[in-house]
Amino acid sequence: MSENKANYLRNISDKLDREDLSEDEKNLLDAFFEKKYAEAVWNENEMGNKEAVKSSILFKIRKKRAVSNLYPYAVAASVALLICLSVLLLRVPSSPVMLRRATSSLTDSVVLQDGSIIFLAAYSEFEYPKEFAGQTREVRLLKGDAFFKVARNPACPFLIQSGGIRTKVLGTSFHIALHQNSCTVTVATGKVNVTSAKNSVDLLPNEEACFKNNKLSKQLAEKELLTNWFKQELYMNQVSLAEVLRVLRLRYGISFETENVQLLKTKVSLNIEAGQPLNEILNQINYITSLKFRAYDKIVKVSH
């Protein structure tokens, strides 16, 4: 609105207070408010039903004073106030649109708006905004396992909430495992900060933080395969059977059980191809080690 128009409307407003408006000025004021009312954008999610709010204001006006020849202008002023409030509310940043990705018996990946890539293990769930806004990039791992390759942005830290801990990075790669009673963060590259309600630790590559029984501890990582299990084709050279089965759990969502824990120390060399069926992989291990695998729903029992 130009300065001249603004001054003119202020002059009419002053005349309204003095009850000194001409008929033409009254018509002009009516037309102005009608135009602003028609152009206004009403956000019902934030401001409620427009007609209900209008009725409430009119009721309060009637209750406060008797109807007079100024009543139409009181209504118009109320509508103008509502228009101003709606504009102010619409300028307030709204909550980001949140998306959720859940996997079943296969892995999946998500590319975020900033270029970060999250690889989800089988039976995992991840929540993230459609677009990042503000001075941080915040996401949530709701359950399961995920490997994060975070795009570097020193001016906008990347925050992951997973159970009782928060992981903060600027740009790095790491694995988070969130299960019913614990959460573990294992770092592949860069520096990672992990914080609980009471403690905070900084991690470097090949270190991990474990949160269990409300206690946060730091230790060396022994699970090197946790940093590459998501690769389309994975070659494992002379690794323990325990590590192989852990990778298969992440990729296929299957749990393994054995009554003889010594079997888990068996060394295996194995190549896993993209999309390869689980039974083919188990047949390979059987051929190499003579171990037997019997499937019971989502559990595979290992024996001699």
Give the domain ranges of the chain: 3-91, 98-224, 231-303
Stretch (H or E) spanning 6 = helix 3-17
Rounded CA gap, 289 and 15, in Å? 97
Each of the 304 residues of the chain gets a pLDDT tens digit; together they read 555 656 666 676 666 666 676 777 777 777 776 666 666 665 565 566 666 666 666 666 565 554 445 555 555 555 555 555 555 444 445 678 999 999 998 899 999 999 999 999 999 999 999 999 889 999 999 999 999 999 999 999 999 999 999 999 998 999 999 998 899 999 999 999 999 999 999 999 999 999 999 999 999 987 666 778 999 899 989 989 999 999 999 999 999 999 888 999 999 999 999 889 999 999 999 999 999 999 888 899 999 8
Rounded CA gap, 293 and 273, in Å? 20
Whole-prediction pTM: 0.68
In this structure, the chain runs to a length of 304
Question: Where does residue 290 fall: left (phi above 0), alpha (psi -120 to 50 degrees), or beta otherwise?
Answer: left
Rounded CA gap, 76 and 168, in Å? 51
Rounded CA gap, 16 and 29, in Å? 10
Q: Does domain 231-303 have CATH number 3.90.1570.10?
A: no
| Domain covering 98-224 in this structure, CATH number | 2.60.120.1440
Question: Where does residue 123 fall: left (phi above 0), alpha (psi -120 to 50 degrees), or beta otherwise?
Answer: left
